[in-house]
Amino acid sequence: MTIAKPVQILLLLFLIFSGLYYAREFLIPLTFGGLFATLILPSTQKLEEKGLHKGFATVICIVGLLLIVAGIISLIIWQVSDLAKDVSEMKQQVARMLERAQSFLSTAVGITAEKQREILEQQQKSSSGRMTSMVTGLMGFLVDFVLVVVYTFLFVFFRKRIKGFILKLVPVDEMEKTEKVISESAKVAYQYLSGLSVMIVMLWVLYSIGFSIAGLKSAIFFAVLCGLLEIVPFIGNLTGTGIAVLMAVSQGEGSGLVLGVIATYLVIQFVQTYIIEPLVVGAEVNINPLFTIIALVLGELLWGIAGMVLAIPLLGVTKIICDNVVPLKPYAYLIGGESKSGKKTGIVEKLKKMF
């Protein structure tokens, strides 16, 4: 009995998503390694052109990337230690807020203060289990980090062999098109990651200025946090700003500080959307908002936070493949955004011409 084509497609999708879910511990470090390999590949190629051995060039670029990551972590630790100086004052403010919240719950909802204390005590009892899971998660993260570094090195070092293997799988008349797909996929991943990195640095500066003017304590820490969370579109910036608003509330300096933080977020979002993203990131990953959100939700369901980070660049690579395979072109049209080829005017285009 022949299975209908729609049923075959559904079965194929089920097998793909099942494989992605159950093989996530293997695939997540491998995918991150591939993306970071595309990020350092141009620098590695430049060093090789200057006569440096491929292995040494790759190691130098990976060490440079690790130094940047270490610098960001050091900055965060420094800001956290600075934030710890105000912990006692924040605890008092939070305690007062909790008292007001308990009073509100007692009067409005009917939950007595004794019942609220019981709930808090139950949560504190389960903290030991959470601590164990945190330690286990940290060890798993360190193992995955080492794997990502190893995969990044191997992907760059054996890139020609991997490319040759892919080309041997296709017919001779399809080699040119396949080579184009490989080149464009690597290019879109590199442009997205490098553009995103530049945008995050620009957001650090803008958020630092805005939060400092608003009067938020440890403004640099929250600026770095808001910038780093931009790697998760839509959700990251709201999460970072929400944490900054909670910090503003805990400072207890009135509604002016909270309004200042919110105003900073709104102004920077406007600048980011209409100036920074078109100027720096551009349309390398030209995906419409509907499939951006779908990719983020699917990524979180399959691979958690890592899936949300990887969703957009992987969807961009998928779109390039669909663009160059005739039967898949309708899917590329479906997930793609509006065409950017038309004539543009305005301040954004003038700034792009300047750069």
Helices (H), the chain: 5-22, 24-49, 54-84, 87-104, 113-125, 127-157, 159-168, 175-214, 219-228, 235-251, 255-271, 289-303, 305-324, 329-335, 347-354
Q: Is the pLDDT of residue 150 over 70?
A: yes
Rounded-to-integer distance, Cα 102 and Cα 80, Å: 29
pLDDT for the residue numbered 103: 64
In sequence order, what DSSP letters do the residues of 96-131 get, joined into one string? HHHHHHHHHIIIII---HHHHHHHHHHHHHTHHHHH
Q: How confident is the model at residue 355 (pLDDT cuts 50, 70, 90)?
A: very low
The answer to whether residue 197 scores a pLDDT higher than 60 is yes
């720096």: which residue's tokens? Answer: 280
Distance CA(180)–CA(191), nearest Å, equals 16
Q: What does the pLDDT read at residue 67?
A: 93
- Tens-digit pLDDT profile for residues 292-347: 888 888 998 999 888 988 888 888 888 888 888 888 888 888 888 765 444 444 55
pLDDT given for residue 47 in this prediction = 92
The count of residues in the chain is 355
Q: Compute how many other C-beta atoms are within 10 angstroms of the C-beta atom of residue 148.
A: 20
pLDDT of the residue at 345: 46
DSSP conformation class of 336: B
Domain map (residue ranges) of the chain: 24-126+140-157
Kindly indicate the confidence band of residue 22, based on its pLDDT and cuts at 50, 70 and 90. Answer: very high
Letter string b/e over residues 1-35, b meaning 16 or more CB atoms within 10 A of that residue's CB: eeeeeeeeeeeeeeeeeeebeeebeebbbebbbbb
In the predicted model, what is the mean pLDDT of residues 202-207? 91
pLDDT digits (tens, 9 = 90+) for 234-277: 777 788 888 888 887 777 666 788 888 899 999 998 888 778 77
Q: What is the DSSP letter of 252?
A: T
Say if residues 192 and 281 touch (Cβ distance below 8 Å). yes
pLDDT above 80 (res 193): yes
Q: What pLDDT is recorded for position 61?
A: 93
Query: What DSSP string runs through 31-56?
Result: HHHHHHHHHHHHHHHHHHHTT--HHH
pLDDT for the residue 316: 83
Cα–Cα distance for residue pair 192/187, rounded to 1 Å: 8
Please name the residues in contact with 229: beta carbons below 8 A apart, sequence gap of 6 or more: 236, 237, 239, 240
pTM as predicted:
0.76
Are 237 and 229 in contact by the 8 Å Cβ rule? The answer is yes
Who wins on pLDDT, 103 or 266? 266
Residue 198 or 286, more confident: 198
- Rounded to the nearest 5°, which phi and psi values hold at 287? -115, 135
- Render the burial of 70-101: b for 16+ CB within 10 Å, e for the rest: eeeeeeeeebeeebeeeeeebeebeeeeeeee
Question: Average pLDDT in the 145-152 region?
Answer: 93
> Can you tell me the distance from the alpha carbon of 355 to that of 340, in angstroms, rounded to the nearest whole number?
18
